[in-house]
Structure 1
Amino acid sequence: MKVRQEQPADYTEVYKLVKKSFATSPHADGTEQDYLNELRKKDTFIPELSLVAENEDGKLVGQIVLYKTTITSFEKKITELVLSPICVYPDYFNRGIARSMMEKAFQIAKKMGYKAVFLCGDPTFYQKVGFRPSYEYNVFHIDDKSKNAEYCMVRELFDGALNNISGIVDIV
């Protein structure tokens, strides 16, 4: 398997991949593929952090994108990243593809100077790859009135990256 940067020539195949992959998800709303197409048009999109996974035959079997988000604190706004969406064709589940794509994207993000990656997702899955609830770092999802949402998660790219930072993050 090869993880590489997504190219515009991949967009049609990635659209199909995202649509099919999310079709089996109980949390999908059926617009994930359109969300990705719209995301590519925004200034928060970072082409270097939009990756695909190819199998040995060159077929696209996975996709991940990290894009810019803002942590709003009392003192300032801090730009970090959101992981959304990530998907793998169902026939390729449990082969480490999602993990490989994340690790590659995180390596690139670190080199670009980013310190943390946020997401909204299933804690059972994402804790296995180093994500923790963001409230443990005093960063709260904008819609989290309870201040203990397990679904809003973060992974520091550097130990202590979120020390002395607190605020609100607005992510999907």
Structure 2
Amino acid sequence: MDIKIRIERTEDYRKTEEVVRSAFEPEVFSDEKEHLLVNRIRKTEAFVPELSLVAENNKQEIIGHILLSKVKIINEKKAVDSLALAPVSIISEYQNIGIGSLLIKAALSAAKELGYQSVIVLGHQDYYPKFGFQPASNWGIKAPFEVPDEVFMAIELTEDSLADVSGFVHYSEAFS
């Protein structure tokens, strides 16, 4: 299968939101509003257009999407810039064949190239560690809400970039 990963364009927004909505429709733990989250993030300063990527099939149809947006990790002494991975979406007929992995690897690589140091994710404990994510608590990084430790994770894009970082993650107002 020939899959192309590229930066999302403004003319893709409606189709991308359809992909996100359809990808989360059957999910048990979804509020089925992830497509609205993507729309809201695009309207904030947290949005980084170069980190909103789509996957296209050989017919140039958008079949997947990933978004990394700016967050801050804040404690009483300092605030550190980071990114949040949310959401990653693949339409059902293309799930479980590696497209999500392609999108995650491409997004992490693009974030590193842009100079970002770390990424936070709230996600499946058996999926994200294969990309290098570890419990954020390893660095003293906490979610701003109650969540099991093993599903709130972080990854350093640059070695030791989280060594002196701790505190609570502050998401953009789009997540509220």
Q: Which runs of 4+ in 1 moved over 3 A?
A: none
- The residue number in structure 2 matching 1:38 is 40
- The residue number in structure 2 matching 1:163 is 163
Count of equivalent residues: 170
**Superposition deviation, residue 159 in structure 1:** 2.1
**Superposition deviation, residue 69 in structure 1:** 0.1
Higher relative contact order (CA 8 A, sep 6+): 2
Q: Distance in 1 between the 2:33 and 2:143 partners?
A: 22
Structure 1 counterpart SS, 2:145: coil
Letter aligned with residue 42 of structure 2:
R
**Superposition deviation, residue 121 in structure 1:** 1.2
- The residue number in structure 2 matching 1:154 is 154
The counterpart of 1:51, out of the listed 50, 53, 56, is 53
- The residue number in structure 1 matching 2:97 is 95
- The residue number in structure 1 matching 2:81 is 79
Letter aligned with residue 156 of structure 2:
E
**Superposition deviation, residue 138 in structure 1:** 1.2
Is the Cα–Cα contact under 8 Å of residues 105 and 131 in structure 2 kept in the other structure? no
Q: Could you list the runs of 5+ residues in structure 1 that have no partner in the other structure?
A: none
Q: Distance in 2 between the 1:78 and 1:58 partners?
A: 38
- The residue number in structure 2 matching 1:131 is 133
**Superposition deviation, residue 46 in structure 1:** 0.4
**Superposition deviation, residue 144 in structure 1:** 4.0
Q: Distance in 1 between the 2:146 and 2:129 partners?
A: 19
Q: Could you list the runs of 5+ residues in structure 2 that have no partner in the other structure?
A: none
Please give the TM-score of this superposition, normalised by the length of structure 1: 0.94
**Superposition deviation, residue 165 in structure 1:** 1.3
**Stretch deviating more after TM superposition (125-134 or 48-57):** 125-134
Q: Distance in 2 between the 1:13 and 1:55 partners?
A: 14
**Superposition deviation, residue 137 in structure 1:** 1.3
Structure 2 counterpart SS, 1:65: strand
Q: Distance in 1 between the 2:149 and 2:97 partners?
A: 29
Seq. identity, %:
32
